Amino acid sequence: MRVGVNVGHIYLLPRIEEWMPLLRGFHSIRWLNALRTNMVWWEANQPDSFVPRSMLELPDHDEFEHVDIWRTGKGIAPSKCVELSNNLGADCWLTVPHRFNSREMHDYAVSLAPYVQKNRILRVELGGEIFNSNFMHRHEYEAAGLRTKVASDGYRAALITHANHTRQLSNAFMLAGISARIVLSGHSTNTWMMEYMLGETGIGQYIDSISIAPYVGVGARDKWDMYQGLWDAGSRVESYRRIADQYGLDLDVYECGQHLITGNAPDLNRSDWMGDWILDYLRVMETSGVDDAHIYSAWGGYKEGEAWGLNEIVDGDIVPTPKLTAVRRFMRL
């Protein structure tokens, strides 16, 4: 199994190039929210919010918005993400804004052409988590699907619209002559939604992999809770592995690891036993059938109630955790 990592918290861009060497050795870099495509629904109507609506709104290759992307920052250009990944000898995983039409998807692909290397894999997916009602992607595709009458209920309408637009994304990259692996993501505890999209739309012939986020730890209080959730995560992966095999697809994990949201999360994230746990977790992912696993995340803030970074940011500096040491051990680094 190959191991990649999510680069989230893009609002820390002023130091992105300084911190990128910390990611050397990971097989792939997934640029989570590099263009703020996963905006929470209630934020969408805020006057200072930013979500790309067209190619014209994307930042230039060498333009760095040193502002909080969660409010007004554009993020960094997709081509810059590819270049930074290349510099690490890593594959690149990008998320295309869900509002793009076929022409804009094509132009997006063309913009990457000077930076895509033949010996590297470029993964692309559309938007955010289509199943997640917190995200505007879900609501806008639901409205579009109901408007075009692809289904009679909102959830199915959103899923079919998402699959249809993913097919447009696949065609756009093919017509642009850019080799890319197209990813279709689903909910790790709900195989029905993936089976529905594959069965109802024929999207399987336009994609290369399906992907899930088999997290463990929401509400966990100690390591015993974490280990109980470990085996359940393996079972969820095995269910999706069977679907991937049925359609001749790879199984990627777009996010994974512990997802602690509890009062003592920061202390648990920094504990020595968490390093042992993440090593066992990766072994379970591998034996359950994952091809590429992308850990969430490369770095994260140290704050009450939630913590999951391999590195933590404390007073503006990077502090490695035992998890990072364990992950490097798994990768034989």
- Give tens-digit pLDDT for 88-109: 999 999 999 888 899 999 999 9
What's the pLDDT score for residue 57?
A: 72
Residue 303: its pLDDT value, please? 65
Residue 60 bridge partners (DSSP): none
The DSSP call for residue 274 is: H
For the chain, what percent of residues have pLDDT higher than 90? Answer: 58
Are 197 and 163 within 8 A, CB to CB? yes
The pLDDT value recorded for residue 282 is 98
Average pLDDT of the chain is: 87
Residue ranges with strand state E in 7-89: 28-30
110 pLDDT higher than 90:
yes
For residue 210, what are its two tokens?
Answer: 């399906």
Per-residue pLDDT, 67? 46
Give a yes or no: residue 313 inside a domain.
no
Residue 325 to residue 279: CA distance in whole angstroms: 10
Question: What are 271-289's pLDDT values in tens digits?
Answer: 899 999 999 999 999 999 9
Q: Are 64 and 14 in contact (CB under 8 A)?
A: yes
User: Within a domain: residue 189?
Assistant: yes
- Inside any domain, residue 314: no
Total structural domains in the chain? 1
The mean-pLDDT minimum among 111-115, 150-154, 258-262 falls in 258-262
Assigned domain for 223 exists: no
The set of long-range contacts for 229-235, using a CB threshold of 8 Å and a minimum separation of 24, is 230/277, 230/280, 230/281, 230/284, 231/284, 233/188, 233/281, 233/284, 233/285, 234/284, 234/285, 234/287, 234/288, 235/288
Output the pTM of the full model: 0.92
- Residue 325 counted as domain residue: no
Q: Is residue 270 part of a domain?
A: no
Domain that holds residue 164: 2-215+231-262
The backbone torsions φ and ψ at residue 250, rounded to the nearest 5 degrees and listed phi first, read -80, 160
Residue 224 lies in a domain: no
- Could you give the CA distance from residue 62 to residue 80 in angstroms, rounded to a whole number? 7
Find the CATH number of the domain harbouring 185: 3.20.20
Using DSSP's 3-state secondary structure scheme, residue 309 falls into coil
Cα distance between residue 306 and residue 308, in whole Å: 7
**Which letter does DSSP use for residue 35 in this model?**
T
pLDDT value for 192: 98
Confidence of residue 305 (pLDDT cuts 50, 70, 90): low
Q: What is the pLDDT of residues 11-64, one digit of tens each?
A: 555 567 777 888 899 999 998 766 665 555 545 555 445 556 677 677 778 776
Tokens representing residue 117 in the block = 């290397």
For the ranges 12-16, 26-30, 183-187, 235-239, which has the lowest average pLDDT?
A: 12-16
Helix axes of 154-175 and 191-201: crossing angle, nearest 10 degrees:
60
d(CA 286, CA 289): 6
Which pLDDT does position 37 carry in this prediction? 58
| 304 pLDDT higher than 80 | no
Answer yes or no: are the C-beta atoms of 187 and 196 closer than 8 Å: no
Least confident of 192-206, 230-244, 275-289, 293-307: 293-307
Residue 2: per-residue pLDDT: 98
249 within some domain: yes
